Chain A
Amino acid sequence: MDISYFDNNATTRVAPEVKKAMMPFLEDLYGNPSSIHDFGGDLIKYVDVARKNVAKLIGASHSTEIIFTSCGTESDNTAVYNALKNYPRKKHIITSKVEHPAILRHFEQLERQGYKTTYLDVDRDGLITVEQVLEALTPDTALVSLMWANNETGVIFPIKEIGEALADKDLLFHTDAVQAVGKIPINLSQTKVDMLSLSGHKIHAPKGIGALYVRRGIKFKPFIVGGHQERGRRAGTTPVPNIVALGEAAKLALEGMDKESQAIRELRDYFEKEVQTKIREIEILGHPEKRLPNTSNITFKYIEGEAILLRLSNENIAASSGSACSSDSLEPSHVLRSMGLPFELCHSSIRFSLSKYTTREEVDYLLAKLPEVIDNLRKISPFTPAHLLE
């Protein structure tokens, strides 16, 4: 049986159009765009087209503002590094408690090197306010890095408002938009961010390609040094197939944005409405509206998330969990904990994330299997109150 895939915030299927677009570069067009000979050198034009498409998807004014990287993590690491290089004397950096490890672990490392860090709290809905950001600023602040949308809950931060509030401040503003790009409209000609990270494999391109937007006029210090690729901003032989793939994925995402997000949202809302009628004592996490259209994070009280995932996996359903058991650290999701969710609910949370390839049939299949799985595990749990078992 085919997989029913509800884990698109973890990674996505490569779009057939994307695969088709990149194939020639895995076959006959294998040259190196940095070469003097035309066989390689000519390929740069495909890279340029891809760069334009990525720029367009996020509303960047110049395609040269896009630097191709290997992944979202590299983009995040590069952005933080660059901010510090821009302000060598400033020693304070700000982020939120719910960021991806690609930011958090880097901040912790910088702490050990003597930087002062501020981790902004989120409220029960997973949100922060512009005021919180402004209050955290000091004259010593070099960087504010805040994610556009959260990978676990889909909650969307007010990046436009924050960008506006920070526009006249002497610091850099970075946003990790890995989960937002391609899912909600982003227009950097109207949103004042200095740097933005995105990743290919979240938008139906293959794994191993990402990009960093750096607004024109901002000094840039390369994080990966070596050859002169990417105008000397990111060394390493140009991965033409992956770049072409990301370009094609960006084009598809922009073309389909309105219609597809609407369809995904309807399917997600249908799922949430139905699941609430079928299963008792559950809670949908994150702000109800300020949320990505594809993400649904639900806690199923009294049972443990990994057991739910394994049971779902038995039914060929893929999802993910914030439970301690399914993480490496034996500790539950830092995102849900930061939202003030009690531990027992963090252990019980499951994230379902949809894509444009998610079908109504898949959702109905999930809705058919999920109540049974939950009910079964609740029967095994010592904490389930009697009234739920009747």
Chain B
Amino acid sequence: MAWKYSEKVKEHFKNPRNVGVVNNADAVGEVGSMVCGDALKLSLKIEPDSNKILDAKFQTYCCGSAIASSSALTEMIKGMTVDQALAVSNQDLAEYLDGLPEEKMHCSVMGKDALEDAIKKYRGEETDAHEEEDEGKIVCHCFAVSDKSIEKAIRENNLKTTEEVTHYTKAGGACGSCLGEIEDIIHDVRARMEQEQPSQPKESKQIIQKNKTEEKPLKQGLTTYKKIKIIEKLLKEEIRPSLGIDHGGLELVEVEDNKVYVRLLGACSGCAQSGETLEYVRNRIEEELGQPIEIKDLA
């Protein structure tokens, strides 16, 4: 693989700033895991009165661009207030680094996700315990799927095997380290399902399930970089091949909340079908993410 990075990215990769852990950190944010092949830990020293970030340090286990972009992010946010830091966009980060390769986006936004995580915890919003109540515990760290969403998928679609769960929720589909846990969940949920409806006749049960399968399982708690990872995979493995275009033909530029920015180039751009193409891409992304999105073509 060749260096497609700017000089500034290379420089930050070679000499990353602010590596390590801040002493007596006021906030620590973490995303990813070693099993998934990418992880980032960000620690901050924050002045309580002014909410100013006095110091920021990071540690990462990922490829080159994560090291460079985390290094850049820590440089940028030092001296900012917490609110200013939260407002730093991926675009700002990319500009600071004279550009970032698009296929490395999921690594590059890890820094921002870690920052958001850190600040949330600092502000006491959505602590882990709270999150557990609301959204459940994350079981599959690769695709950020919680036990709650797995349970929901099992109940709604009458899933019986881990393969089915992976199929419906993606959980366990990448590294597979959570497959054991998924199996336990299936066992547990199915046992409870039996208890809840002990006398329900089989037939009506099936009818209910039939209707329910129409519903798409919703994935909660997907971080931006997990979304990007999922979308990139979809583009690469399905959409580009089915449209008969290469990477340059359809690029993922940016993901912000439910907005997905792409660039349709080459044969696709400007052609009569480009509207349809975009619609198809949007539909597939929505299916994969299990949530509605807006799509914009920047070409």
Q: Answer yes or no: do A and B interact.
A: yes
Contacts from A to B (Cβ < 8 Å)? 302-304, 306-307, 309-311, 313-314, 323-326, 328-332, 342-344, 347, 379-383
Q: A313-B3, A325-B107 are in contact. Are A344 and B60 (CB under 8 A)?
A: no
Please name 25 pairs of A and B residues whose Cβ atoms are closer than 8 Å in the assembled complex, sorted by A: A302-B34, A304-B37, A304-B38, A306-B1, A306-B63, A309-B1, A324-B37, A325-B62, A325-B63, A326-B1, A329-B237, A330-B37, A331-B174, A332-B37, A342-B35, A343-B34, A344-B35, A344-B37, A347-B34, A347-B37, A380-B59, A380-B67, A382-B39, A382-B60, A383-B61
For A342, what are the chain B residues with a Cβ–Cβ distance below 8 Å? 35
Q: Which residues from chain A contact B30 at a C-beta distance below 8 Å?
A: 382
Closest to A302 in B: B61
Q: How far is the CB of B9 from chain A (nearest CB, A)?
A: 10
Q: Is the CB of A328 within 8 A of B236?
A: yes
Flag if B67 contacts A307 (CB, 8 Å): yes
B60–A381 CB distance below 8 A: yes
- With CB as the reference atom, state the residue of chain A lying closest to B233: A330
B14 located at the interface, meaning its Cβ lies under 8 Å from any Cβ of chain A in the complex: yes
- Chain B's closest residue to A313 (CB) is B3
Report the separation of the CA atoms of residues A379 and B67 in the bound assembly, to the nearest whole angstrom: 12
Decide if A380 touches B236 in the complex (CB within 8 Å).
Answer: no
Tell me if B19 counts as interface (CB < 8 A to partner A): yes
Check B277 for interface membership: any CB of A closer than 8 A: no
Question: Which residues in A have their C-beta under 8 angstroms from that of B61?
Answer: 302-304, 381-383
Residues of A near B232 (CB, < 8 A) are 330
Asked whether B34 lies within 8 Å of A310 as measured between CB atoms, the reply is no
In Å, the complex CA distance between A381 and B40 comes to 8
The answer to whether B3 touches A304 (Cβ under 8 A) is: no
Q: Is B177 part of the binding interface, using a Cβ–Cβ cutoff of 8 Å?
A: yes
Complex Cα gap A328–B246 (Å): 13
Write the nearest CB–CB distance from A157 to chain B, whole angstroms.
25
Contact partner of B64 among A307, A329, A332, CB < 8 A? Answer: A307
| Interfacial residues of chain B within 23-47, with CB under 8 A of chain A in the complex | 30, 34-41
Residue with the highest number of chain A CB atoms closer than 10 Å, among B63, B107, B233: B63
The yes or no answer to B229 lying at the interface (CB within 8 A) is: yes
In whole Å, how far is A264's beta carbon from the nearest beta carbon of chain B?
26
Q: Are A325 and B38 in contact (CB under 8 A)?
A: yes
Are A307's CB and B63's CB within 8 A?
A: yes
Q: Mark B46-90, 1 if CB is under 8 A from A, else 0.
A: 000000000000011111100100000000000000000000000
B220 to chain A, nearest CB (A): 22
Residues in A with CB closer than 8 Å to B107 are: 325
Asked if B37 and A343 make an inter-chain contact with CB atoms under 8 angstroms apart, the answer reads: yes
Chain B: which residue is nearest A310 at the CB level?
Answer: B64
